[in-house]
């Protein structure tokens, strides 16, 4: 899920930036400090939205840099369990598929790609034995987050596509068409019966 979050921190501005406007210098340092920043508490930082407040600068003896007590807003992505995400497949392997869900890739284990026996082909395609459905690089999919780990530098996101309304968008479109056709078939006998009743009444 994407959020805006307000952060308060002491931002260090080096002496080399003293010739710049204070807000510009502080913003440059925030961008540098939070570029590719990832933490369990905050999530994945996408960028800095704006600076809310910059306090008075304090120079620490022996450092020479100025420290500003600063309040600023970040745009972040924080993956949450059970969240449904939309993404495209970036890579197919013999153990599953990697799906880009924005600022990070999630991984769908081969057993979670579809409700079928799935095999991996040399052409980097995952195929369902009974359904004949396939997954390949570039396919757009809906998935649910079932595992999140921030233990390493880059978070690990586990996904599933085995539940209803999840999977390759093409599959979902096919399912909708099938449901519409079966609904139309069910309606036709009912309409015929109603017409027969009308004739009898007349």
* pLDDT 10s digits, 162-201: 988 999 999 989 888 888 888 888 776 655 666 666 666 5
In which band, very low, low, confident or very high, does the pLDDT at 36 lie, cut at 50, 70 and 90?
Answer: confident
Q: Give phi and psi for 102, each to the nearest 5.
A: 120, -110
| Residue 83 clears pLDDT 90, i.e. is over it | yes
Residue 63 lies in a domain: yes
For the whole model, what pTM was predicted?
0.78
Number of domains in the chain: 2
CATH number of the domain within which 26 lies? 3.30.1490.120
- Average pLDDT over all residues of the chain: 90
Residue 196 lies in a domain: no
pLDDT given at position 90: 96
Give the tens place of pLDDT for each residue, 118-170. 999 988 999 999 999 999 999 999 999 999 998 877 889 999 999 889 999 99
- Could you say which of 23, 48, 77 is where a domain stops? 77
Give the tens place of pLDDT for each residue, 85-108. 999 999 999 999 999 998 999 999
- Could you say which of 77, 93, 114 is where a domain stops? 77
In which band, very low, low, confident or very high, does the pLDDT at 114 lie, cut at 50, 70 and 90?
Answer: very high
pLDDT given at position 182: 83
Residue 189 lies in a domain: no
Residue 202 lies in a domain: no
Domain range for 167: 84-175
Mean pLDDT, to the nearest integer, of 58-84?
93
Query: Does 72 share its domain with 99?
Result: no
Query: Does 139 share its domain with 154?
Result: yes
CATH number of the domain within which 167 lies? 2.40.50.140
pLDDT: is 178 or 69 the higher one? 69
Query: Does 92 share its domain with 168?
Result: yes
């Amino acid at each position: 899920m994407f959020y805006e979050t307000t952060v308060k921190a002491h931002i260090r501005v080096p002496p080399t930036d003293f010739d710049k406007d204070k807000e510009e210098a502080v913003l440059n340092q925030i961008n540098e400090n939070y570029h590719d920043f990832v933490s369990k508490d905050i999530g994945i930082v996408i960028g800095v939205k704006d600076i809310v407040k910059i306090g008075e600068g304090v120079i620490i003896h022996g450092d020479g840099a100025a420290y500003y007590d600063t309040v600023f807003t970040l745009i972040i992505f924080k993956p949450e369990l059970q969240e449904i995400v939309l993404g495209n497949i970036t890579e197919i392997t013999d153990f599953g598929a990697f799906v880009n869900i924005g600022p990070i890739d999630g991984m769908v284990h081969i057993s979670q790609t579809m409700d079928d026996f799935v095999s991996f082909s040399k052409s980097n395609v995952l195929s369902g034995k009974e359904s004949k459905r396939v997954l390949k690089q570039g396919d757009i999919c809906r998935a649910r987050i079932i595992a999140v780990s921030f233990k390493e530098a880059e978070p690990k996101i586990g996904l599933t596509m085995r539940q209803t309304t999840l999977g390759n968008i093409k599959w979902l479109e096919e399912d909708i068409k099938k449901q519409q056709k079966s609904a139309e078939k069910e309606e036709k006998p009912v309409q015929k019966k109603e017409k027969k009743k009308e004739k009898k009444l007349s």
